[in-house]
């Protein structure tokens, strides 16, 4: 399991990280809300932990902002505010669980495992970038009135790319997420499936393109669609 900790208090963050390491759970810490938000877009994490009262930051807004970017990684909020309205506001706007501080570490660990198991099961049915839609229930691309089916690996790569909304997705991450970290698959496998996806996107007339950054990875780019007079919208 890999966990992102967004926590303004260095001592608390380090204590949580130490506890996780004892249970062989990897974690990264971000002390600033904006840094945490940017890191959440990498889709490298199974669970995101957010402390609800980082000084000077609207962390309910942070939860909303993360969800607005199609990030469906489970979010666990930690707070010393036990009021029902406070809990409900976070759960309504995108948090998956809420734990009151102080807490028993064993309960905290159990909740993490539950959220990690749930990851990927409760999710947005469609993702989009430009004129391209990804149907996550039926594993297919949609563009205007055209539809094309995707293989399982094509779907997984597409999901990574669209979730990252034009940001670079490394080949290493693709191999890890699609084939597994202990797989013998190489970058050549990624390149083959990216080629398949490019052909399918072209077939349905999408103006979204998969661009490559040599020896690093891939990202999506959406070209403007010209209007009837030939001017770009």
- Does residue 122 surpass a pLDDT of 50? no
What stretch(es) of the chain map to CATH 3.40.50.2300? 2-118
Compute the distance between CA of residue 81 and CA of residue 100 in angstroms, rounded to an integer: 7
- Does residue 70 surpass a pLDDT of 90? no
For the sheet containing 146-149, what is the strand order? 126-129, 132-135, 140-143, 146-149
Question: Could you tell me the pLDDT band of residue 2, with boundaries at 50, 70 and 90?
Answer: confident
Residue 148 near residue 202 (C-beta atoms within 8 A): no
* Length of the chain, in residues: 233
Q: Compute the chain's Rg from CA coordinates.
A: 20
pLDDT: which is higher, 179 or 15 = 15
- Cα–Cα distances (Å) from 170 to 45, 47, 176, 177, 214, in that order, read 15, 20, 10, 11, 10
Which one of 5-14, 98-107, 200-209 scores highest in mean pLDDT?
Answer: 200-209
What stretch(es) of the chain map to CATH 1.10.10.10? 126-222
Residue 9 near residue 30 (C-beta atoms within 8 A): no
- Does residue 121 surpass a pLDDT of 80? no
DSSP string, 177-194: III-TT----HHHHHHHH
**pLDDT tens figures, 198-231:** 999 999 999 999 999 877 899 999 987 555 554 4
- Is 126-222 a domain of CATH 1.10.10.10? yes
- Per the omega criterion (within 30 degrees of 0), is the bond before 173 cis? no
- Is 2-118 a domain of CATH 3.40.50.2300? yes
- Does residue 124 surpass a pLDDT of 60? no
Q: Write phi, then psi, for 159 (nearest 5 degrees).
A: -60, -45
HSE, side-chain direction, 13 A CA sphere, residue 13? 21
Compute the distance between CA of residue 63 and CA of residue 159 in angstroms, rounded to an integer: 21
pLDDT at 46: 87
Residue 65 near residue 38 (C-beta atoms within 8 A): no
- Does residue 130 surpass a pLDDT of 50? yes
pLDDT at 72: 85
């Amino acid at each position: 399991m890999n966990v992102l900790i967004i926590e303004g208090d260095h001592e608390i963050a380090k204590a949580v990280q130490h506890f996780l390491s004892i249970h062989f759970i990897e974690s990264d810490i971000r002390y600033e809300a904006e840094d945490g938000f940017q890191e959440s877009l990498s889709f490298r994490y199974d669970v995101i932990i957010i402390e609800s009262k980082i000084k000077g930051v609207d962390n309910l807004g942070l939860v909303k902002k993360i969800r607005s970017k199609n990030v469906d990684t489970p979010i666990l909020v930690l707070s010393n505010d036990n009021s029902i309205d406070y809990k409900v506001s976070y759960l309504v706007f995108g948090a998956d669980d809420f734990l009151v501080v102080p807490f028993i570490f064993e309960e905290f660990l159990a909740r993490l495992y539950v959220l990690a198991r749930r990851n990927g099961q409760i999710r947005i049915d469609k993702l989009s970038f430009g004129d391209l839609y990804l149907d996550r229930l039926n594993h297919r691309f949609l563009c205007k009135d055209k539809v094309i089916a995707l293989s399982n690996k094509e779907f997984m790569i597409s999901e990574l790319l669209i979730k990252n909304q034009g940001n670079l997705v490394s080949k290493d991450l693709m191999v890890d997420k699609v084939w597994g970290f202990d797989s013998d698959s190489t970058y050549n496998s990624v390149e083959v499936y990216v080629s398949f996806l490019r052909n399918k996107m072209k077939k349905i007339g999408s103006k979204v393109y998969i661009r490559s950054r040599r020896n690093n990875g891939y990202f999506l780019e959406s070209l403007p669609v010209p209007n009837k007079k030939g001017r770009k919208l």
